[in-house]
Amino acid sequence: MAKAIKRQAMGRGLSALLKDPENDIQSANDKNADKVVGNIVELEMDAIEVNPFQPRTSFNEDTLKELASSIKELGVIQPITVRKSGFNSYQLVSGERRYRASKLIGLKTIPAYIRIANDQESLEMALVENIQRQDLDPVEIAISYQRLLEEINLTQEELSNRVGKNRSTIANYLRLLKLDPIIQTGMRDGFISMGHGRALISVDDVATQLTIYEKIIENSLSVRDTEALVRKQQQNDTPVVSPSKVIPAFAKKATKEFSDYFDTKTEVKVSSSGKGKLIIPFKNKTDFERISKLIKGEE
């Protein structure tokens, strides 16, 4: 308990330092920056603004209330992370659920780690820390990965190192973004899991995707049931090549010769037993008579 009181007292001292205009720390090279950056500071809630780069877009009210109740009882156990945006003003990098829950119960201050970073660094920190620490849904994680690749210009290998995930894992998340938006929303709202989504990815036709998605919801299908349904659908959609379509090389060559000779596109069908048909189409009676004469050798 004494250690906790000491930490809080130190936090209050740093808070006073940050409110001193003569100690307006803007970079890691400024005086007293080493006393602030990386340390826990008690910051006023009103001095913190929500991070516009926050990847989480929705917050469950019930879980927020549960977290608020826990904070009221035990305090904020895990400090939030902020970056300095101006004199006595800060922008949230990670910990928005803790910040929102603290506001719900009317806290005036909140423990925070302070970092100094530009917007790009802030975006990267927000995305990486939220992926690692927050209970994001699969689509939010996929969007975060995509933003790190596109907006921070990370390679997949660099991204893998940043978030501590295999490249195959990252690829599986990114593939979820190829799903129809309705299915993505269902995943975000918890109607289906990431496993369901991964099964649906292999279905190319969007209408079929949605049909299977509706069956998952209506029948409460498991991931395994969904995978089986997808396989069945793909088998039904796969064109079966009949033996008559498999034309031997000798017949292919002869077909071209027949087509040239009769001046019409002839067709050869060969069964698996080797038997076949030669089809010579005609346009009208005159064309039929012309072909007949060629067959009889009259022309």
Which are the catalytic amino acids? Answer: 96
Instruction: List C-alpha distances in Å: 23 to 15, 86, 130, 230.
Output: 11, 12, 31, 63
**Residues in CB range of 98: below 8 A, 6 or more apart:** 67, 71, 76, 78, 80, 110
Which of 76, 18, 82 minimizes the C-alpha distance to 51?
82
CA–CA dist 178, 49 (Å, integer): 33
Q: Where are the alpha helices (DSSP H) in 78-189?
A: 96-104, 119-133, 138-150, 156-163, 167-175, 181-188
Which of 134, 77, 66, 79 minimizes the C-alpha distance to 105?
66
Residue 109's SS3 state is strand
Instruction: List C-alpha distances in Å: 2 to 10, 251, 264.
Output: 12, 93, 98
| Token duo for residue 254 | 């002869």
